[in-house]
Structure 1
Amino acid sequence: MKLFSHNPDFKMDVLREVGNIGAGHAATALSRLLDKPIDMAVPTVSFVPFESIADRVGGLEEVVVSIFLRVDGAAPGNMFFLMSRSQARRLLQELVGLESADGDDYSELELSALCEIGNILAGSYLSSLADLTGLSLTPSVPSIAVDMAGAILSYGLLQFGTMGDDALLIDTTFLKGRQEAEGHFFFIPDPDSFEKLFLSLGVPLE
């Protein structure tokens, strides 16, 4: 049974639930993968305009680590997981136990580890969204890149075509003891996907 409400906060409450469930799934999956307890803070969920995505990671010219993939199915879209280089190094050191050198060069092992973490995150959030909406949502094989944020987003546009105007932002924080690392997870539904998603979540569009 779907819930309908004209409360303007209801839409965000539903999306926060997507983030909370996805974070729980991701923490469990990462703990199994790394064979150590991994916790994730309650994520902050918001909507941001597509053109503001780069601002969240320091601007268009800021070099970032990005995992990106295409979502196919009933509500297609694009997913990006963006981290600053310092946060990527912290993630590798604190969670994976890999000592990553400063700079833009990453070993194949480091890139593989970061890509797998991004893949687990994407799968966890996508699975929670699919469970709550009842829609079929299938991720493509993820790709990883280290480049300027503007170049990564432009490449995404070239690869996937025109994206929607708005992105669902889930700020993700990994916790291990007192150490933490964070990243920004963006789901950018295709223009026609928003209505399908929210109607499936029981949120009427006004």
Structure 2
Amino acid sequence: MDVLREVGNIGAGHAATALSQLLGKPVDMKVPTVSFLPFEDIAERLGGVETVVVAIFLRVEGDAPGNMFFILKREPARRLLQGLPCLEAAGSEDYSELELSALNEIGNILAGSYLSSLADFTGLHMSPTVPAIAVDMAGAILNYGLLQFGTMGDDALLIDTAFLEGPNQMEGHFFLIPDPESFEKLFSALGVPL
């Protein structure tokens, strides 16, 4: 867990820097918490299967394939959009195409920061696919990922990070769900025997 916490810390640092450049203002971060949890507990961690969330999903390809989700609840996603100088504040509950595109790109940048940190740390080749975005209930999004890409691992690596921009706090959840055969490769590359 110490090794994974360090990977999460480095990834969060890179993600905060990228977010700061995107927003054009300083963004701090809290030290992330890292944990393993069973795949079926992910939705509960987000507030329940019926909680509406914004999820950026991508497939990890390479030496240790798997699936990665960056998930925000609606309020932090809205605050993140309001921080972008190129977007006008929307009063609607729904997201415009431009807002969805912006959230997708932000999720792509942040997920890429974590993934590149993990790849650097392990020395494994890991590359993300083009991300997809969805606004739906947490249970539906996770089930779609499961149906789209077949069997996922039983466990997920959860990195909970809060980014602080001025008085606002934006909590994001990164879930890396390695394919079953990837766990041993990841831990071996981290120098941790299973």
State the TM-score, normalized to the length of structure 1: 0.89
> Which of 65, 74, 96 is 2:84 aligned to?
96
Question: Is 1:20 matched up with 2:12?
Answer: no
Contact 1:92 1:100 in 2 (8 A): no
The residue aligned with 1:153 is: 142
Sequence identity (%):
77
> Which of 102, 105, 117 is 1:128 aligned to?
117
Contact 1:167 1:186 in 2 (8 A): yes
**1:1-206 map, 5 Å:** 12-93=1-82, 95-97=83-85, 98=87, 99-103=89-93, 105-205=94-194
Deviations 1:109-162 (A, max 9, x none): 211111111111110100010001000001001100011111111110111111
Quick one: distance in 2 between partners of 1:181 and 1:72? 28
Q: CA deviation at 1:199?
A: 0.5
Contact 2:122 2:186 in 1 (8 A): yes
List gaps (5 residues or longer) in structure 2.
Answer: none
SS at match of 2:26: coil
Deviates more, 1:70-79 or 1:114-123: 114-123
Q: How many residues align?
A: 192
Quick one: distance in 2 between partners of 1:190 and 1:53? 16
List gaps (5 residues or longer) in structure 1.
Answer: 1-11
